[in-house]
Amino acid sequence: MKTEHSDHFSSIDRVAQSFASVDYIASPAIATSVYLGFHLEKPILIEGPAGVGKTELAKSMAEILDVPLIRMQCYEGLDESKALYEWKYGKQLLYTQLLKDKLGEMMQGAQGLAESMDRLHAHDDLFFSEHFLEPRPLYQALHQEKGCVLLIDEIDKSDPEFEAFLLEVLSDFQVSVPELGTIKAKVKPIVFLTSNNTREMSDALKRRCLHLHITFPEPALERRILERRVPGLSDTLNRELVAFVQAVRQLDLKKLPSVSETIDWAKTLLLLNAEHLSLDLVRDTLNVFLKFEQDIATANEQMGNLLQQARKDAEVSHASHA
């Protein structure tokens, strides 16, 4: 996969261009991390608040490479069997019943106990074959003929024991299945791990990965994101909207508005045919990007100052690019 797609990753600028082609605006830090991860063949551990584009980065990578995106959502209690494979017990039970019904035919003509046992063991091997195996995300990732992007989402929600198991898989991209032997990746997957920082990751995992922290974007980058994601949004409204969201992020809120919520608000304002931010318009749509009543009340208390600051910042940014 590395050779086949090297043109997309020949330089850091080329990486940024490739992501822009699929409407993902990558900051220099993101483009650099992806460039290094691709060439060093190392997983990338992405940390940062929810909604800043961590998962979207992996999706865009799969689109650029034209390979499957295999996502494993982590949660408390996730273990090896749920991440790797499980046996189809119902199917095995049905197979057992079929063997029982055919037992007489199978044993017909067998010379002695040893030959009878050999015939039974031949069917026992089939009992624990891939035919009766239910592949989970890690197992699927190892079997992709042309490689894939493996997204291990919200790794911080899993238990430390699972994290230790994951390290073994990521070190050699192979796993041992007792009944089947060692299974090695046909093509090494490109791996992204995301974390919302609900717990600290182990030093061992951090050593294995490149670290990328994605925070809220600077105003210029957020405006570029809206240009790509919300076509039809006027330049004036784009500047005012981004300036307002940037000002809101300076407040003491329970949950700061993310980039995905900025995009949702931009789509909302476009749907309402807005050309400028007004007091009533903002108050009526605050719930699109603020998710707690307490945060909405805080923003309403500061609404005059926020709008004034947003208009001022929008004018400054426009003048600087005129």
In DSSP notation, 209-272 reads SEEEE--PPPHHHHHHHHHHHSTT--HHHHHHHHHHHHHHTTS--SS---HHHHHHHHHHHHHT
- Where residue 72 falls among pLDDT bands split at 50, 70, 90? very high
What's 231's DSSP letter?
T
- Where residue 151 falls among pLDDT bands split at 50, 70, 90? very high
- Residue 199 confidence (pLDDT): 84
Nearest CA-CA partner of 192 in 232, 230, 141: 141
Instruction: Inform me whether the pLDDT recorded for 127 exceeds 80.
Output: no
> 112 or 81: whose pLDDT is higher?
81
Q: Do residues 157 and 117 touch, judged by C-beta distance below 8 A?
A: no
- Residue 25, CB half-sphere, CA atoms under 13 Å: how many? 18
Give the CATH fold of the 6-78+136-213 domain: Rossmann fold (3.40.50)
Instruction: Inform me whether the pLDDT recorded for 180 exceeds 80.
Output: no
Look up residue 16 and give its two tokens.
Answer: 């940024």
- Residue 168 confidence (pLDDT): 81
- Where residue 97 falls among pLDDT bands split at 50, 70, 90? low
Instruction: Inform me whether the pLDDT recorded for 312 exceeds 70.
Output: yes
- Residue 87 confidence (pLDDT): 60
| 261 vs 244: CA distance, rounded Å | 13
Domain extents in the chain: 6-78+136-213, 84-131, 219-320
| Window from 25-34, 79-88, 194-203, 286-295 with minimum mean pLDDT | 79-88
**Tens digits of residue pLDDT in 238-279:** 999 999 999 999 999 999 999 999 999 999 999 999 999 999
**Tens digits of residue pLDDT in 104-114:** 555 555 555 55
Mean predicted lDDT score pLDDT of the chain: 86
Mean local confidence (pLDDT), 20-34:
95
Q: How distant is the alpha carbon of residue 240 from its chain centre?
A: 30
- Residue 164 confidence (pLDDT): 84
Mean local confidence (pLDDT), 69-96:
75
Q: Does the predicted model carry a pTM greater than 0.95?
A: no
Report the share of the chain in percent with pLDDT over 70: 81
Select, from the ranges 115-124, 165-174, 175-184, 232-241, the one with the highest average predicted confidence (pLDDT): 232-241
**Tens digits of residue pLDDT in 199-225:** 888 888 899 999 999 999 999 999 999
Look up residue 319 and give its two tokens.
Answer: 């003048």
Instruction: Inform me whether the pLDDT recorded for 38 exceeds 70.
Output: yes
Q: What number of H helices and E strands is found in the chain?
A: 16, 9
- Residue 233 confidence (pLDDT): 95
Tokens 């807005």 map to which residue?
Answer: 274
Q: Do residues 81 and 247 touch, judged by C-beta distance below 8 A?
A: no
